Amino acid sequence: MARQQRAIRTRRIFLQAAAEVFDEHGYDAATIAAILDRAGLTRGSLYFHFTSKEELARGVLQEAVTSDGVTPQTFKLQEWVDMALLLAYRLPREPLLSASIRLSVDPRARGLFGTRWPDWIVIGTELLTEAKERGELLPHVDPEATSRLVVGAWTGVQLVTESMAEPPDLVAEISALFELILPNAVVPGVLARLDTSPHRAARIMEQQAVAAS
């Protein structure tokens, strides 16, 4: 068991190191040597877990779709909003998440590994479909089309934000995005009770850190 836990931890260290190197240099320019150097572990231990740079990239992408931190809420829409806000909060703090976007927008890496956008679209579609069944959404809303648009919008807002000389806070931008789109998708009684505030993500993360400690 201890050995298994150590193996999981080692695997994680390599994924983190690979994510950092992909994130800083891009997939093509990333080398196994740089990843080893970053991880501070031996080549033998790397090859026990991953046989190539390709496999590391696949591992990074696999880890990148996560609704960690999202807990059941009175409204399914709140869970959808929470997922997007938490991701905006975590992305600048977690290389695994930013590397996953970098691999997805890099056409060569995308050609090799695809993207995780379809998975995000499915998760959003499921939440929005349930929200619609519960009567939280206006009748004209198409869950799949809306999920797809918001995955795209989220990604682009992140890209444009990080490219700015003085980047605005990503959570605040995503919060503003929801304020722009929700009034035309959500029934009024639910809309008034959704929390889209930029502070929500940090609050959730802190509560969970306290609960876990």
156 counts as binding a second copy under rule CB under 8 A: yes
| Single residue of 65, 149, 187, 204 touching a second copy by CB under 8 A | 149
Ranges of H-type helices in 40-94: 43-49, 53-63, 76-90
169 counts as binding a second copy under rule CB under 8 A: no
Neighbours of 21 (CB within 10 A): 26
Q: Which of 34, 36, 96, 11 is nearest to 62 (CA)?
A: 96
37 counts as binding a second copy under rule CB under 8 A: no
Of 75 and 117, nearer to a second copy (C-beta) is: 117
Cα dihedral: 107, 112, 118, 119 (round 10): -130
Distance CA 11, CA 4 (A): 11
Let me know: does 127 contact 83? Beta carbons within 8 Å.
yes
Residue 213 CB-density burial (10 A; 0-12 exposed, 13-18 middle, 19+ buried): exposed
Whose structure tokens read 């929200």?
A: 131
192 counts as binding a second copy under rule CB under 8 A: no
Give least dist CB 55 to a second copy, A: 22
Per-residue tokens: 13: 């260290």
198 counts as binding a second copy under rule CB under 8 A: no
Of 135 and 152, nearer to a second copy (C-beta) is: 152
77 counts as binding a second copy under rule CB under 8 A: no
133 counts as binding a second copy under rule CB under 8 A: no
115 counts as binding a second copy under rule CB under 8 A: yes
135 counts as binding a second copy under rule CB under 8 A: no
Give least dist CB 211 to a second copy, A: 33
Of the candidate spans 38-46, 54-62, 80-88, 112-120, the one that interacts with a second copy by CB under 8 A turns out to be: 112-120
Distance CA 18, CA 138 (A): 43
**Hey, which residues between 89 and 108 contact a second copy (CB under 8 A)?**
102, 104-108
Give least dist CB 62 to a second copy, A: 17
Let me know: does 185 contact 75? Beta carbons within 8 Å.
no
Distance CA 69, CA 82 (A): 8
* Binding site residues, a second copy, CB under 8 A: 26, 28-29, 102, 104-108, 110, 114-115, 117-118, 121, 145-146, 148-149, 151-161, 163-164, 168, 173, 176-177, 179-185
